[in-house]
Amino acid sequence: MAGTKIAHKPDLTKEQEMEIFRQHFAGKYEVVPTSGLARAQRHFIVNKNGCIGLYVRLEQTDNETKFVYSGAAPSFLAGMVVYGTLGTLGYVLWNAITR
């Protein structure tokens, strides 16, 4: 997982974070909330297409605010191919592709 520090904003919420990404990537990428088990650790997905995307979450500490992201296979079928068939190697390759 990679991360990007931003100016410390302790009052920033995950909903506001998602709206910032929606505005920034409007017309280029689709920004959608996560569902199911992914929701516990990832706030939303930035989809390039059905096969390539990024999971994003907001991480707050006492002194910093950052966005943490990792590669995602937005569609069920792409996820089965990447994670099911290739296992850990698929996860590593997918993160390298999405960087």
Model pLDDT for residues 30-47, shown as the tens digit of each residue:
998 887 666 667 888 888
Strands (E), 1-99: 2-6, 30-33, 44-47, 53-60, 65-72
CATH of the domain at 52: 3.30.310
- Domain count along the chain: 1
User: What residues make up the domain containing 54?
Assistant: 2-98
Residue 90: per-residue pLDDT: 53
- Going from the C-alpha of 25 to that of each of 32, 47, 89, the distances in angstroms are 12, 10, 29
State the pTM of this model. 0.68
d(CA 74, CA 54): 8
Strand 53-60 to strand 65-72: parallel, antiparallel, or no bridges (unpaired)? antiparallel
% of the chain with per-residue pLDDT over 70: 67
